[in-house]
Each structure stands twice: as structure tokens, then as C-alpha cells.
Amino acid sequence: MEKKHYNIPVFISHFGCPNACVFCNQKKINGRETDVTLEDLEKIIEEYLEILPKDSYKEVAFFGGTFTGISMEKQKEYLEGVKKYLDRGLVQGIRLSTRPDYINHEVMEQLKKYNVTTIELGVQSFNEEVLKKSARYYPVETVYKACEMIKSYGIDLGIQLMPGLPGSTFETDIESAKKTVEIGPQNARVYPTLIIKDTEMERMYQRGEYEVFSLEEAIKRCRKICALLEINGINIIRVGLQPSDDLRNGGVAVEGAFHPAFRELVDGEIYFDFLKKIKDRDGFLNIKACEKNISKIVGIKKKNSIRLEKFQLDIDNSLDTSEIEVNGNKYIRKDILKEELSGCR
């Protein structure tokens, strides 16, 4: 049986980052490279080790900044700080996020030496015009080279996408998903764009230079993106930002496609269209599914139940989460995703 995976998240701001992406509100503090001390790092790891299952697979995950944009010396300090836990078998790996243009052989040699197991690249978009308008420009070739290099070192690759950036369209965001599939990372995250307080994007919005990426449009794009990634065997770690209290209360997000259960919304729409096509064809719906799939079928606030009107829904736990029986026919998750992508070329 595969061990359950847990991240021990360490959020590092990179105050020395020379970039100014329009969606980022990273503060610049002169003379200070990051905001996490080695004592902080040890405290975070120790706290998580107390509550996480002993027999689980644990990665210390450096998020929140461009890890490999920090000086090599500082990177080494953090990696050394985790090494003692790796050596004792208390954690099994290290995960980090960075930019495609901050990957080179010198960096990779050090990361490999310290048993970095996963590198997530904040690609955001494979469209160069979108990257330019987001003040995050690098040639797309840089992304391919970084991905190839990471793979060559035997380290798992993750790709992060941000549909809805300035200048993006449904077509450019779907194309980014297709190019992600071509590269074949082990995992992906999909973060629909939000307007975050105190960012250039907020100022663009106030000047009328950026139109809000609505929740409806985000669902429309993300359902196709997620279907493309999943059907091609890419593990989707997260869809939508973590529903923190700040986001919910409007302390961080100004406008945009935020919902605390965004992935459920996306899945609900995928299931709705699939079931509606069957109902339109057969004139009725008799559905059997395991308990864990019921929420996807009925939708958040029973939205799908209302739209589908009368139908029979029974719990059958002999079916697993990848299966659903409709009108006597059994369908697997791949059938549903294929139907979702039938009009997406």
C-alpha cells in the first residue's frame, strides 16, 4: 500500500527577487534576502513532525518565493537545515518552487546533492505575449530547457499554470495545458488569476487595463485544462488558491476567480455536462456511485440536482471513485474526461 504523502510547507519570501510580476505583491526589503531563519525552519519541521503520521511520506516544501533565485550559499543553509531530518529518516525529500529562468547546472548539482525530490516550475503560461504583459518574460524555450534539465537529474517535475493572466484567452490557456502535456511533468497546479492587493495587476485593474477573470470564465477554462492534464496521467495537486481566511475575508484578494471549493466547482461542471448529455439522449437518469462521488454529482449547493431535475441517485460503494453507473452502463473517469474534451482540439 502506497504511503500517504504530506508536505511540510515552509513559505520563504525572496526579498532579493529582481523581478516584478504584475500578480505578485512580494515586498522588497533592502539588506535582507529572505524572511525565514534556520531556527524558524527547524521549528516548522518539528511542529509538523509531531502531528503527521510516523509512517507517511513527508517532503519539506519550500514555497512562496523563487528558491533558486536566492544565493547559492543561502540555498545551501536551508538544504543543510533539512538534511539532518533526511539522514534520520524523519522526512523523505525536499520539494521547492522556482522560475524556469532560475535553473542551471550549478543549481541542479547542489539540489541533487541534498536529495531534492521535486521541483515545481512557475511557468504560468507558455504564451510569450502573456508573459510580457505579466512582466514575467522569458523565451518559452527557457521553459523547455529547464524541464529537460530537471528530468535529466532524476528529480520529479511540477508545472504551475495561471489561466486568466493579462492578454490570455481561452485558446492561449488551453494551449499552455497542451504544452504541459507534451513535456509530461509528474504533477501540476492550476491557479486561476486573482487580483491581489498592492500589486501592479491591481493598479492595471483600477486603470481599466485588466478585466477581472470571473469565476464563470475560470471554471470554463479550468475544466478543460484539468481534463487535459488528468487524462494524460499528470497528477493535479491543487486547483485554485488555498482558501485562507485572508482570501475569504477580502484581506488579500481584491477581485477575481476565488472560491474556497474551486476544484469541486470544476468537477461539478464536468459531471453535469456528462450526465445532461445522457439524460438528453435517454430521457431519464438512474445513477449509482460511491459515497465519495456524490458531491460531484449533485454539485455545490445541489446545483446539479436542480439543473438535472428529476433523477434517481443511489449510493453503491462497490464502485470506486473512478467509476459511475448511469442507466445500467458503467463509465470510468476517463470516459467522462474524454467527453469533456470532445470539443477541445
Q: How does pLDDT run along the chain (345 residues), one tens digit per residue?
A: 678 999 999 988 765 566 667 777 655 433 445 678 999 999 999 999 999 999 999 999 998 778 998 899 999 999 999 999 999 999 999 999 999 999 999 999 999 999 999 999 999 999 999 999 998 888 999 999 999 999 999 999 999 999 999 999 999 999 999 999 999 999 999 999 988 888 888 888 899 998 888 999 999 999 999 999 999 999 999 998 765 544 545 556 667 777 888 999 999 999 999 999 999 999 999 999 999 999 999 999 999 999 999 899 999 999 999 999 999 999 999 999 999 998 655
**Nearest Cα residue to 177 out of 214, 215, 252, 124:** 124
Q: Indicate whether 294 and 243 sit together in one domain.
A: no
Q: 11 and 151: one domain? A: yes
Do the domain assignments include residue 169? yes
Last residue of one domain, picked from the residues 239, 260, 281: 260
Asked if the structure places residue 267 within a domain, the reply is no
Task: Kindly state whether residues 165 and 30 are assigned to the same domain.
Answer: yes
* pLDDT score, position 248: 45
What CATH number is attached to the domain comprising 251?
A: 3.20.20.70
Check: CB of residue 175 under 8 Å from CB of residue 127: yes
Tell me, what's the pLDDT at 20?
67
Q: Are residues 311 and 237 in the same domain?
A: no
- In this predicted structure, what is the pLDDT of residue 241? 75
252 and 280 in a single domain? The answer is no
> Are residue 221 and residue 299 in the same domain, yes or no?
no
For residue 265, tell me if it sits in a domain. Answer: no
Last residue of a domain, one of 260, 293, 327: 260
Range of the domain at 320: 272-340
pLDDT given at position 94:
97
Q: What is the pLDDT of residue 344?
A: 55
Q: Would you say 131 and 148 are in contact if contact means Cβ atoms under 8 Å apart?
A: no
- Identity at 263, one-letter amino acid code: R
> 3-state SS string over the chain?
CCCCEEEEEEECCECCCCCCCCCCCCCCCCCCCECCCHHHHHHHHHHHHHHCCCCCEEEEEEECCCHHHCCHHHHHHHHHHHHHHHHCCCCCEEEEEECHHHCCHHHHHHHHHCCEEEEEEEEECCCHHHHHHCCCCCCHHHHHHHHHHHHHCCCEEEEEECCCCCCCCHHHHHHHHHHHHHHCCCEEEECCCEEECCCHHHHHHHCCCCCCCCHHHHHHHHHHHHHHHHHCCCEEEEECCCCCHHHHCCCCEEEECCCCCHHHHHHHHHHHHHHHHHHHHHCCCEEEECHHHHHHHHCHHHHHHHHHCCCEEEECCCCCCCEEEECCEEEEHHHHHHHHCCCCC
Domain boundary among the residues 236, 260, 284 is at 260
Quote the pLDDT of residue 65: 74
- In a domain? residue 345: no
**Judgement on whether residues 117 and 201 belong to the same structural domain of the protein:** yes
Strands of the sheet containing 312-315, edge to edge, are 312-315, 286-289, 323-326, 329-332
Any domain includes 36: yes
Q: For residue 266, tell me if it sits in a domain.
A: no
Instruction: Name the domain count of the chain.
Output: 2
